[in-house]
């Protein structure tokens, strides 16, 4: 590909980074990911379209490509997940998506295993591996400082258990509790009443599957949930299918039992904006949690709980709490759990997995920052 086209790809990458509160480094490997999917005409179309929400008529008036070809390119870019739609007052507007969370996830979420998807997955793996090269001193310290000073963009919201949760009181499996309004169940109930819930393939597991890698926790491929206005886009353009509240809760329950974590994503990656998706993933596959465990990225979550050891004498040393903790906040000392509350992200997996009442949880809204791990600290390669 000619150098001037790579310069265009770089312009496109910076424009897409501007669509989100978070951004990813624009490197040559990232441009190769773009190049594996987009044609030169599609790149030109996107650059001429710009980043502002526009109707299709406004877009076709703005771009200089012949109308018949422009319509074909426009449809192609929607199918590739790089142009998103939103209905406002019965009018459909289109905008260029962010890179991640955005285009990467949507491109793979329809479950296709076409050759071009596999090529994309291969370049994506190279991209993530290339980020690992920057996990050295002093770059690691600079990245940690920069990521810590930014506001969190993703939110850990546990699913409701059979019990409720009492605010500001310790919780053990036998108590009666009251759930705060920040639960996954509340989100599903709210959007389900509006008929705005859809299920799509998990980007992370689909990516790994295309690379021939099986999830260690045996999570299903079709398991991530999109909400609200984005569910309409996902279904209309063939990325997912509408499901009921009961079906959504069954997915949440199944993922919970397998050891998954529920991360809520917001429009433009800003937690003050409306929710657009619930990522149901694990410490192995997840582009966020899995990359942390591989020493690729740091974590910055908003969360609502922390766990602590309450009844150590009841512990049978099964080790499930440590095995399923997605951020290695639980270590075993003489086969008994020790929880680092500074690392606990409040996913409640340890609480769910322990059947002996060893672990209790406490409601506390807070931010948790986990710095980039040194290579010697990583959980998986």
Q: DSSP secondary structure string, 298-341?
A: -EEEEEEEEEEE--GGG-----HHHHH-TT--EEEETTEEEE-T
Residue 258 lies in a domain: yes
Residues 145 and 285 in one domain: yes
Quick: pLDDT tens for 322-378: 999 999 999 999 999 999 999 999 999 999 999 999 999 998 999 999 999 998 999
Question: For residue 170, what pLDDT band results from cuts at 50, 70 and 90?
Answer: very low
Query: Which of 242, 269, 304 finishes a domain?
Result: 304
Name 375's Cβ contacts closer than 8 Å, sequence gap at least 6.
Answer: 135, 295
Residue 362 lies in a domain: no
305 CB burial (10 A radius; 0-12, 13-18, 19+): buried
Residues 166 and 283 in one domain: yes
Residues 11 and 75 in one domain: yes
Q: How many Å apart are CA 25 and CA 161, to the nearest integer?
A: 39
| CA–CA distances in Å: residue 184 to residues 36, 176, 256, 276 | 36, 19, 11, 13
Query: Which of 304, 329, 352 finishes a domain?
Result: 304
What would the mean pLDDT of 35-60 be, rounded to a whole number? 96
Provide the terminal-to-terminal Cα distance of the chain, rounded to the nearest Å: 32
Residues 174 and 252 in one domain: yes
Question: For residue 321, what pLDDT band results from cuts at 50, 70 and 90?
Answer: very high
Residues 156 and 297 in one domain: yes
Q: How many Å apart are CA 153 and CA 226, to the nearest integer?
A: 17
Name 119's Cβ contacts closer than 8 Å, sequence gap at least 6.
Answer: 36
Q: Give the per-residue pLDDT at 44.
A: 96
Name 141's Cβ contacts closer than 8 Å, sequence gap at least 6.
Answer: none
User: What is the DSSP pairing of strand 197-201 with strand 241-242?
Assistant: antiparallel
Token pair, residue 104, equals 């990467």
Q: How many Å apart are CA 8 and CA 14, to the nearest integer?
A: 10
Residues 229 and 293 in one domain: yes
Residues 76 and 146 in one domain: no
Q: Give the per-residue pLDDT at 372.
A: 93
Query: Which of 304, 329, 356 finishes a domain?
Result: 304
Residue 92 lies in a domain: yes
Asked if 215 contacts 285 with a C-beta cutoff of 8 angstroms, the reply is yes
Domains held by the chain: number: 2
Q: What is the mean pLDDT of the chain?
A: 89
What CATH number should be reported for the domain holding residue 77? 1.10.10
Owner of token pair 């929400």: 53
Which domain covers residue 95, as residue numbers?
A: 3-108
Helix 3-17 and helix 28-35, axial crossing angle in degrees, nearest 10: 100
Residues 296 and 201 in one domain: yes
Residues 17 and 80 in one domain: yes
Residue 257 lies in a domain: yes
Q: How many Å apart are CA 18 and CA 361, to the nearest integer?
A: 38
Residue 202 lies in a domain: yes
Residue 66 lies in a domain: yes
Q: Give the per-residue pLDDT at 275.
A: 92
Token pair, residue 282, equals 């694990």
SS3 readout for 115-150: HHHHHHHHHHHHHHHHHHCCCCCCHHHHHHHHHHHC
pLDDT above 70 for 146: yes
Residues 288 and 178 in one domain: yes
Quick: pLDDT tens for 187-235: 999 999 999 999 999 999 999 999 999 999 999 999 999 999 999 999 9
Q: How far is CA 205 from the centre of its chain?
A: 11
Residue 262 lies in a domain: yes
> What is the dihedral angle through the alpha carbons of 233, 248, 322, 172, rounded to the nearest 10 degrees?
130
Residue 96 lies in a domain: yes
Q: How many Å apart are CA 249 and CA 54, to the nearest integer?
A: 35
Quick: pLDDT tens for 63-100: 999 888 999 999 999 999 999 999 999 999 999 999 98
Residues 211 and 70 in one domain: no
Residues 214 and 285 in one domain: yes
Burial 220-239 (b: 16+ CB within 10 A, else e): bbebbbbbbbbbbbbbebeb
Helix (H/G/I), strand (E/B), else coil: 199:
strand
Token pair, residue 367, equals 């931010």
pTM for the full predicted model: 0.88
């Amino acid at each position: 590909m000619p150098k001037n086209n790579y310069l265009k790809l770089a312009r496109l990458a910076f424009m897409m980074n501007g669509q989100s509160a978070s951004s990813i480094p624009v490197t040559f490997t990232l441009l190769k990911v773009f190049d594996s999917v987009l044609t030169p005409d599609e790149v030109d179309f996107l650059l001429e379209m710009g980043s502002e929400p526009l109707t299709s008529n406004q877009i076709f008036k703005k771009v200089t490509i012949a109308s018949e070809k422009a319509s074909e390119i426009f449809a192609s870019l929607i199918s590739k997940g790089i142009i998103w739609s939103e209905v406002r007052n019965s009018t459909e507007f289109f905008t260029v998506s962010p890179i991640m969370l955005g285009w990467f996830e949507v491109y793979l979420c329809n479950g296709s295993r076409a050759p071009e998807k596999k090529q994309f997955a291969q370049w994506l793996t190279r991209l993530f591996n290339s980020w690992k090269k920057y996990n050295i001193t002093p770059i690691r310290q600079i990245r940690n400082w920069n990521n810590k000073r930014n506001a969190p963009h993703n939110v850990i919201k546990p699913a409701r258990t059979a019990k409720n949760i009492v605010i500001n009181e310790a919780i053990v499996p036998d108590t009666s509790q009251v759930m705060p309004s920040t639960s996954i169940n509340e989100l599903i109930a709210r959007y389900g009443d509006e008929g705005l819930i859809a299920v799509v393939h998990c980007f992370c597991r689909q990516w790994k599957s295309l690379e021939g890698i099986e999830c260690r926790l045996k999570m299903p491929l079709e398991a991530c949930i999109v909400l609200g206005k984005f569910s309409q886009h996902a279904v209309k353009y063939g990325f997912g299918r509408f499901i009921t509240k009961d079906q959504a809760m069954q997915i949440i329950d199944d993922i919970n039992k397998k050891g998954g974590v529920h991360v809520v994503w917001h429009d433009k990656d800003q937690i003050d904006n409306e929710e657009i998706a619930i990522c149901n993933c694990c410490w192995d596959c997840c582009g966020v949690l899995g990359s942390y465990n591989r020493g690729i990225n740091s974590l910055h979550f908003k969360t609502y709980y922390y766990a602590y050891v309450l009844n150590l004498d009841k512990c049978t040393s099964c080790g499930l709490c440590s095995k399923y903790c997605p951020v290695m906040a639980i270590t075993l000392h003489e086969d008994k759990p020790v929880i680092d509350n500074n690392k606990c992200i409040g996913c409640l997996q340890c609480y769910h997995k322990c059947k002996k009442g060893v672990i209790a949880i406490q409601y506390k809204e807070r931010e948790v920052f986990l710095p980039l791990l040194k290579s010697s600290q990583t959980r998986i390669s």
